[in-house]
Structure 1
């Protein structure tokens, strides 16, 4: 049986609501509906400074679908929707990506059903929305505008069709996935995961707040791809200063930092440590305008003139060596890790679970290092080697890494044979 292709919602695409009066009318209609709210957002982080929502989609049985344009009236949209949505059950696909920007509007659920996570718990082959709607409901959705510039003032009709379709089937999908979870005895697991997502991602604040109004984390620059490959403190100081100037420019212009200076170019400049603007100009990825080149050279000069004792250290404190070092520098621990990973993957497969839902690779590495790591490992601060010797220690480590009860119940029998009391190789070196 072939899927039914849908390019517009079954009831048609609603108009995009832009005014406080329209927000209030829509909120009243939603309050008269029944059941949970299906919610999604469209953002423009590739074009704007932050990840705030430029379209908010809400659908509820008995009320229909509504599309809201928050920009210019964010406080008014929050005021209209808060009494209706806050504290209620929401259905969202991949909730961690949407909850923060909804929180910036002052909106927060009382409970959620995350269809993306539910699909991974059920062991579905894929968990993207288009696949699930096709596989479970028999409708084919066009998925082609997710990375578009939703901050544009005038959105094409086909984009609005796409946005409305994103919430069209969430309620039906949630019903089917709940049935599957219950049939697999995973409903309690799902509820624990939904609660965890809610606790870690839903943080309502003033509807006037977004990342534009919040100071960046002082160590955020280290997350730029390639920065970890820089080898000395002077390079790191150049990278940090370039990042700070870029962030300030992007914030002032409300544009994506990568559009001011790409991550690749930022790292290339830091790596090269140019000693003159002439040397800087030789970096091919550098913006071509003279004013921009002058800006980046001034940033490099500022980095060089800062006190050397204030330059960043090469690595942030780590309790476990970076994963890139294990196979080369710690072969014994790497072998134990590979064994544990294989066990966890086999157990996840037997439960029809995606392995990453059961346990992350970072948690497995932490356990192996805590059991069999080396007490003197270069670059490892706050070393946890030797800190896990018993099952109680193992459970404590899992809880510190935010594992939930259902995961701990499954993992402890897999970890027990690797504890020092069972003769794990390498444990005596701790």
Structure 2
């Protein structure tokens, strides 16, 4: 393999922070040619919000544009200039929500990360894709930086500019590879779905995402954990601080399990840490008392229409367990033939639901069930027949006698 050249950003690196400069940049982008490379930088791990703190754009013939969306209320000149063009985004599911939040959305999409998965690349990060397709090495030292920092350091801006400047060449090379593999149409369907798909609605009980909460076996302690999570979330939201930077999950869990009998004893615990663990001690103690005093502690397990974890299927629904194993094997075989990860051929949750709900073992019934779960036409064509045949085999084989209760 030829030695890689280190990518060097072209710039310019002046951050656009006022409406007049934005309009000039929008005119420049409109005069460029080809698709527009777009990226956004957030401050995940530092801020509560997932807003964009920098938007980067690059187009051949127009150069690079760096925009501070926190200082400009109206980005419509950008949207008007390029909204009808194809946008190249790497891992669009990460950036589209914050771009939409500031009024930016493409008409069509080419996702280089998703395309790399469909092409069967083992490594699909931007640096790996750029190395493979463009022969350039990217330094990724600022990916986890606090992009709410102002002013943004020059080295960060160079890093941010590179993220879009390499995308047009990567996109063209990847498009050629997908065409070579006969995957142009399926990639187009996936890109369209990625653009149309919207985030899932907020969880009914988001506090149940507390890491390690499964260790709690007492409803009263679970109520304490809930109140601590809610108290931290309120503080994080009001201060725009990432919750884990205030008090980490492990500390909330330790406080819920500790059953301390006084505020001072909570403060004395070495496992209750975080920058706000002592400065907001009254807040945490009030949450603990509220959890203990509630007349309606939460159930240990949330109600859900989701199938249980597959590890429990052998004992609870053995025929579904057998169908799942056969269907997984069938989808895996199809994915290997297409040289792509099985999860990109068909979502694992879709396979589980088909097996658990005992969809009829015919290609027509399986195809209809797949379409109801948002499978794209190419996925239906590639898997419906195979899954139906796998269900027939599973039904004929029946549950393993060794799985039967003694």
Matched, 1:4 2:5: yes
Aligned partners of 1:420 and 1:348: how far apart in 2? 20
For 2:57, what is the secondary structure of its paired residue?
A: strand
Residue 98 (structure 2) aligns with: 101
Residue 244 (structure 1) aligns with: 230
The question of whether the paired residues in 2 share the 8 Å contact of 1:89 and 1:110 is answered with: yes
Aligned partners of 2:204 and 2:295: how far apart in 1? 18
Q: Deviations over 1:114-168 (max 9, x none)?
A: 0100111111121111111111111111111110111100222111111000011
Gaps in structure 2 of 5+ consecutive residues: none
Aligned partners of 1:324 and 1:273: how far apart in 2? 32
Matched, 1:128 2:125: yes
Matched, 1:259 2:245: yes
Q: 1:292 to 1:202 in 2, by over 3 A?
A: closer
For 2:207, what is the secondary structure of its paired residue?
A: helix
- Report the Cα offset of residue 367 of structure 1: 2.2
Aligned partners of 1:324 and 1:292: how far apart in 2? 41
The question of whether the paired residues in 1 share the 8 Å contact of 2:11 and 2:63 is answered with: no
For 2:47, what is the secondary structure of its paired residue?
A: coil
Aligned partners of 1:407 and 1:216: how far apart in 2? 28
For 2:87, what is the secondary structure of its paired residue?
A: strand
Aligned partners of 2:59 and 2:256: how far apart in 1? 51
Given the two structures, how large is their TM-score scaled by the length of structure 2? 0.89
Matched, 1:360 2:359: no
Q: 1:360 to 1:273 in 2, by over 3 A?
A: farther
- Report the Cα offset of residue 220 of structure 1: 1.8
Comparing 117-126 with 20-29, which one deviates more in the overlay? 20-29
The question of whether the paired residues in 1 share the 8 Å contact of 2:13 and 2:154 is answered with: no
Q: How do residues 193-204 of structure 1 correspond to structure 2 at under 5 angstroms? A: 193-201=190-198
Q: 1:398 to 1:272 in 2, by over 3 A?
A: farther
Q: 1:233 to 1:396 in 2, by over 3 A?
A: farther
Comparing 99-108 with 26-35, which one deviates more in the overlay? 26-35
Residue 61 (structure 1) aligns with: 60
Aligned partners of 2:273 and 2:202: how far apart in 1? 24
The question of whether the paired residues in 2 share the 8 Å contact of 1:370 and 1:388 is answered with: no
Comparing 328-337 with 230-239, which one deviates more in the overlay? 328-337
1:410 to 382, 387, 403: 382
Given the two structures, how large is their TM-score scaled by the length of structure 1? 0.85
- Report the Cα offset of residue 413 of structure 1: 2.1
The question of whether the paired residues in 2 share the 8 Å contact of 1:238 and 1:273 is answered with: no
Q: 1:313 to 1:87 in 2, by over 3 A?
A: farther
- Report the Cα offset of residue 393 of structure 1: 3.3
Residue 211 (structure 1) aligns with: none
- Report the Cα offset of residue 276 of structure 1: 3.4
1:301 to 289, 292, 299: 289
Matched, 1:287 2:288: no
What is the aligned-residue RMSD (CA, Å)?
2.6
Aligned partners of 2:314 and 2:70: how far apart in 1? 49
Aligned partners of 2:360 and 2:207: how far apart in 1? 33
Aligned partners of 2:261 and 2:244: how far apart in 1? 24
Q: 1:124 to 1:320 in 2, by over 3 A?
A: same
For 2:144, what is the secondary structure of its paired residue?
A: coil
Residue 22 (structure 1) aligns with: 21
- Report the Cα offset of residue 249 of structure 1: 0.5
Gaps in structure 1 of 5+ consecutive residues: 204-214, 372-386
Residue 384 (structure 1) aligns with: none
For 1:2, what is the secondary structure of its paired residue?
A: coil
Residue 153 (structure 1) aligns with: 150
Q: 1:418 to 1:12 in 2, by over 3 A?
A: closer
Q: Deviations over 1:339-375 (max 9, x none)?
A: 432332222111111221012222222222223xxxx
Q: How do residues 45-124 of structure 1 correspond to structure 2 at under 5 angstroms? A: 45-73=44-72, 75-76=73-74, 78-124=75-121
Q: Deviations over 1:192-244 (max 9, x none)?
A: 111111111499xxxxxxxxxxx965422222322344334323322222121
The question of whether the paired residues in 2 share the 8 Å contact of 1:234 and 1:304 is answered with: yes
Q: 1:331 to 1:265 in 2, by over 3 A?
A: farther
Aligned partners of 2:280 and 2:311: how far apart in 1? 36
- Report the Cα offset of residue 13 of structure 1: 4.2
The question of whether the paired residues in 2 share the 8 Å contact of 1:286 and 1:293 is answered with: no
Residue 230 (structure 1) aligns with: 216
The question of whether the paired residues in 2 share the 8 Å contact of 1:85 and 1:107 is answered with: no
Residue 375 (structure 1) aligns with: none
Aligned partners of 1:291 and 1:256: how far apart in 2? 16
Q: Deviations over 1:52-82 (max 9, x none)?
A: 1111100111111111111132x23x23312
- Report the Cα offset of residue 311 of structure 1: 2.9
- Report the Cα offset of residue 175 of structure 1: 1.2
1:394 to 330, 345, 366: 366
For 1:125, what is the secondary structure of its paired residue?
A: coil
